[in-house]
Structure 1
C-alpha cells in the first residue's frame, strides 16, 4: 500500500488594521494604511513563512464577521496595527487577547503619543510613517524587525503569554471551535477560494482585451474589497474616472448589502455611518469625471461629502475635498456662498491639522475674497490673514524638508525615489507660492526653478504655474493701499 503524502497547510497570519487613508486625530496627519500593509507588514509576514491575510482579502458570500472571528481564534499569528487609534483594530485585538494567550504581535506608527491604560504594559513595536507615505529605509528596517519577531514567537516552546487576559488570570483555558463547526468554516473558505481563483482567471482574460468597454470586469464578478480597491487605484492612475466611479459605487453597495444580510432593514441601513474613505474617493472621482457636466458632477460630489458632516468634521481629507469642490463651484458660478464655504473648509483643515496643502489654498482664497470684497475693512482683514497663513505654511514646509531629507542610500529603488519626489515637489511648490504671496520674488524664483527641475511628472509643473497665474494678479490692486500711514 502506497501512503499518500499529505500537503502541509501553510500557517496563517491574520492582520488587524484599518484600510486606506485614515486621519490620526491625535496628530491631524493622514496615514495611508494600505501602504503600511502592502510595503511592510505583508512582505514581513511572508518572509517569516506564513500566509498573510487581511479582512478585505477574505473571500466570503455571507457576513464578514464569521471568517473574521474564526481568524481571530485560529490564526497562528495575529498582527494588530493600532495606527490612527482605529476603533475596530482595538476591538479585534481585545477579542484576540480573550481567545488566545500567545502569538499576537502589536505594532503602531510612532506618531501615537499615548496608548490606553490597558495597553501601557504590552509590548508594541513601532514604525515611522511619513504621512501618506513610508520611507524605503524605514520599510526595510521594520520588515526585518517584524519578520524576526514572528519567527521568534513561532519557534518558542512553550510560548510566552502576550495576552494580558491569560497573563493575569492564571489557569484560564483558551476556547476552541467545535470540530464540526470548524470543518464547515474551512469548507466554506476553501470553496470561496476556488470561486475567487476562477473569477480571477475570467477577469484577467477580460482585461487582456483592450477593446472591452469600461463595463467589463466590474465588481459584480468579484468577492473581495481588496480586489475592487486595486482596480480603483489602477483606474485613477490611468485617469479613467468613469470606471473608478463605477467600481467605488459597487464597493459602497456591497457594504450596504452586507448590513442587510445581518438582518437590518433598509431604513436601518440608511442610518448607519458610511466608510469615510470610500465616500471621499467616490467624491473625488465624481467631480473629476465632469459628467454629465462639470457643475452637476461637483454638486453630486457635494452631496456625497455632506454625508461626512464637513461642517463639524476634523478629518483633513474631508475638509480638503469639501474645499476643493466649493473652490471649483466658485470658479464656475462666482457665487459668494461657494467662495465662503471653500475658505471655511480650507481654514478648518489648516488650523486643526496644521496642514500645508489646506494652508496654501486657504491663503489663496483669502486673497480671492479680498479682491472681491466691497468692504475695505473686510478686504484688508482677509489680505493680512492670507500673509500670516503663508508665513506659518513656510514654517511647516521647511520643517518637512528637515525631517524628510532625500534618500541617500544607493540601494533605494527608483520607484521609492519617485514617490519621495512627488511629496517633495508639492512642499517646494508650496514654499515658492508662499514666497510669491509674501513679495519675495527672488527666493520664490529660486525655489520654484529647483522644484521644476526635479518635478517627477510634467503636469505638476503646469499645475503650479496655473495657480501662480491666478495668484499674481490679486496683488496688483492690494487693499492695503487704503491703510493711512504717516
Structure 2
C-alpha cells in the first residue's frame, strides 16, 4: 500500500502576494500530483471548498497521520499556514514546501528550505518536467527522516508523537470511506431528491465527515429540495450548523419556500454578528426582492418599501466586496424598477461590469458570470451583445433554477421599460429563451 501525501494549497485561480493570478489547479495537476505518483505515494488534496473552509477533525487527522505532506505557500493563505503550523508541531519531518519564485514569503518561513517554481503570464507552471523531477526528489529524500520542522529543529528535546499502526490503518479506512462517500453523493444527486434523502437516512450524521455533509446540503439545493435543506440543517452537529455558510443556505431555503420572515431573521442575525458580506447580503436582498414582487399587486406603498430595502441591502453587499458582482447587478437591475430610475445606477453599472471582467481573468467563467454580463447588456440596451451572451449563459447552466432566476430579472427590466413606452420585444424574447426547459448535459 502506498503512503499518503497530503497537499495543502488553494483551489482554482487566486492572486499571490504580488497580486498576480495563479492557476493552482494547473500547478497541482501538472507538477504536484505527477511528482507524488512518481515518488510512489498517494495524493490527498485538502478540500477546503467542500468543507466550507473549516478546520475539522478529518483535516487534523490528515495533517497528523499522512506520512508525507506538501504545502504551497504562494499566496500566504491563512488556512494553509495554520495547517502547516499543525503539521510542523506534530511531524518532525517529511513536509515539503513549494512556492512560485516571485512570491514574498512571510519572515517566519522565508528561511525554510523550499522549491520555487516558475509561472507564465497566465499563472500556469512552465518548465514542468524539471520541477516535477525536483519535487519527486524532495519527496524521495524525505524518506530519510531528516527533521524539516522548525519546531523540532530548534527544540531538541521536543517530545515526538508516536502514531501506532492501528490508528494509521483506521485513518486509511476513513480516507477511503470519505472518497467513496463523495462519489455516492454525486451519484445520488444525479438521480434526484429521493436518492439523496435515502442516502441521508443511511448516514450516522454525527460520525460523518463535514465535507460529506456540506456536499449533501448543497446537493439538496441543486435539486431544489428546499424543505430537505431546512430539515437537514437542523440535524447537523452544532459546530457545522452554526457555520456562516450553512446559516446562509438555511436562509436561502426558507426564502425559496416563501417563509420570508424566518429567512430575514436568520440573515439579519448573521449580518449583525459578522457584518455585511456580499453573500449574506445577496441572499437577504433576494428576500426583500421577493417581498417587493409579492406585494406589488396589492400595496404600492409596501412594495416600494421592500424595493428600497432590497436595493440598499444589495448595495451594502456589493460595497462589502466589490469583487462579487452578484449583489451589484441585482442592485442596478432593481434601480430600473423605481418610478424614476435610481440615479446611483449610472455610477454603479460600469463598476459592476469591471468587477465581472476582473473575475473572468481570475477563474474559469461560469453561468453567473455570463448571466451578469447578459443583464448588463440588457440594461445598457446592447441588443447584439445580449444575444451572444444568452448563448454563453445557456451553455453554462448547471442547475435548473439558474436560468429561471435570470429570466425573472430580465422580466423586471422588460416590464419597467414597457411602462415607459420603450420598444423592448427583443428583451421579452431573451426572457422566453431562458425559460425553455433543457436537459442538463453536465
- Aligned residue for 1:279? 247
Residue ranges of structure 2 left out of the alignment (5+ in a row): 49-54, 296-301, 421-442
Q: CA deviation at 1:300?
A: 2.9
Q: In the alignment, what sits opposite 1:388?
A: 347
Over 3 Å counting, the alpha-carbon distance change for 1:117 and 1:27 in structure 2 is: closer
Q: Which residue number corresponds to residue 308 of structure 1?
A: 270
1:305 is displaced (CA, Å) by 2.4
- After superposition, the Cα gap between the structure-2 partners of 1:27 and 1:142, relative to the gap in structure 1 and judged at 3 Å, is same
| Equivalence for 2:83 | 92
In structure 1, distance between residues paired with 2:332 and 2:307: 13
Deviation at 1:218, TM superposition (A): 0.8
Q: CA distance change for structure 1 residues 404 and 315 in 2, over 3 Å: closer, same or farther?
A: closer
Give the counterpart of 1:217 among 184, 194, 199: 199
Residue pairs, 1:246-285, within 5 angstroms: 246-253=231-238, 255=240, 274-285=242-253
Q: What TM-score comes out, normalization by structure 2 length?
A: 0.66
Q: How much does 1:390 deviate?
A: 1.0
Residue 333 of structure 2: aligned partner: 364
For residue 77 of structure 1, the aligned residue among 61, 68, 71 is 68
Determine the C-alpha separation between the residues in 1 that align with 2:57 and 2:273.
37
User: What is the count of residue pairs matched by the alignment?
Assistant: 392
Which stretch shows the higher mean deviation, 422-431 or 352-361? 422-431
Kept in 2, the 8 Å contact 1:316–1:349? The answer is yes
In structure 2, the residue matched to 1:10 is 2
SS at match of 2:320: helix
SS in 1 for 2:343: helix
* 2:409 counterpart (442, 467, 485): 467
Which residue number in structure 1 is paired with residue 423 of structure 2?
A: none
- Deviations 1:316-375 (CA, angstroms, capped at 9, x unpaired): 22222222222222222445554343223211222232232222211123343x42xxxx
- CA-based RMSD of the aligned residues comes to 5.2
Residues 4-38 of structure 1: per-residue CA shift (max 9 Å, x gap):
xxxxx3211234468x99x99x999xx999x8999
2:167 paired with 1:185:
yes
1:55 Cα deviation after fit: 7.2
Take 2:329 and 2:419, find their aligned partners in 1: how far apart are those partners?
Answer: 20
Aligned partner of 1:232 in structure 2 is 217
Preserved CA contact (<8 Å) 1:45 1:51: no
Kept in 2, the 8 Å contact 1:67–1:185? The answer is: no
Distance 2:133 2:335 in 1: 52
Aligned 8 A contact 2:73 2:105 in 1: no
Q: CA deviation at 1:234?
A: 3.6
| Structure 1 stretches lacking a partner, 5+ long | 1-8, 58-63, 129-134, 257-273, 372-378, 406-418, 436-440, 479-486
CA distance in 1, matches of 2:127, 2:390: 33
CA drift of 1:285 comes to 3.4
The aligned residue for residue 293 of structure 2 is 331
Q: 2:428: which partner in 1?
A: none
Q: Per the alignment, do residues 362 and 120 of structure 1 end up closer, same or farther by CA in structure 2, a change over 3 Å counting?
A: farther
Instruction: Give 1:122-271 correspondences, 5 Å limit.
Output: 123=114, 138=124, 150-156=135-141, 162-165=148-151, 169=154, 172=156, 175-178=159-162, 182-183=164-165, 185-186=167-168, 188-189=170-171, 215-218=197-200, 220-221=203-204, 223-253=208-238, 255=240
CA gap of 1:448–1:211, structure 2 versus 1, over 3 A, is closer
1:100-115 correspondence runs (5 A): 100-106=91-97
